[in-house]
């Protein structure tokens, strides 16, 4: 990063960064979903989805926990291989 970048880029408030990081980490802490469990969840989900949608690519599945306004969400995305 150039010196000018450092000079002109508005610094993000570190308190905001702290808050965002905490919110994310606490969603995970509270749900008690360890990285291993998350992997297991992905594997089982992909097996189920593949039974109905064979074009799902098990390696691209993404499962994320995130914090919403009022409730927290567990979001899963299943990208499909394009077919004609």
Partner 1 sequence: MSRVITITSGKGGVGKTTSTANLGTALAMQGAKVAVVDADIGLRNLDVVMGLENRIVYDLVDVVEGRCRLRQALIKDKHFSDLFLLPAAQTRDKDAVGPEDMIALANQLRTEFDYVIIDSPAGIEGGFRNAIAGADEVLIITTPEVSAVRDADRIIGLVEAAGKGSPQLIINRIKPRMVNRGDMMSTDDVLQILAIDLIGAIPDDETIVTSTNRGEVAVLDRTSRAGRAFSDVARRIAGEQVPMPTLEDEQGVFDKLFGMLARRPRGSER
Binding site for partner 1 (CB under 8 A): 13-16, 18-19, 21-23, 25-26, 29-30
Q: How far, in Å, CA of 29 to CA of 27, rounded? A: 6
Q: What are the backbone dihedrals phi and psi of residue 51, each rounded to the nearest 5 degrees, phi first? A: -65, -30
Is the CB of 14 or the CB of 83 nearer to partner 1? Answer: 14
Q: Contact 49/62 with Cβ under 8 angstroms?
A: no
Nearest-approach distance from CB 25 to partner 1, in angstroms: 6
Nearest-approach distance from CB 17 to partner 1, in angstroms: 9
Is the CB of 9 or the CB of 84 nearer to partner 1? Answer: 9
Is the CB of 23 or the CB of 47 nearer to partner 1? Answer: 23
Q: Look at phi and psi of residue 75 and say left if phi exceeds 0, alpha if psi is from -120 to 50, else beta.
A: beta
Nearest-approach distance from CB 60 to partner 1, in angstroms: 31
CA 34 from chain centre, in angstroms, equals: 13
């Amino acid at each position: 990063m150039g010196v000018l970048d450092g000079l002109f880029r508005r610094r993000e408030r570190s308190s905001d960064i702290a808050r965002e990081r905490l919110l994310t980490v606490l969603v995970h802490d509270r749900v008690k979903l360890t990285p291993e469990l998350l992997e297991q969840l992905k594997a089982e989900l992909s097996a189920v989805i593949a039974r109905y949608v064979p074009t799902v690519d098990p390696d691209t599945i993404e499962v994320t926990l995130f914090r919403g306004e009022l409730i927290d969400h567990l979001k899963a995305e299943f990208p499909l291989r394009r077919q004609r």
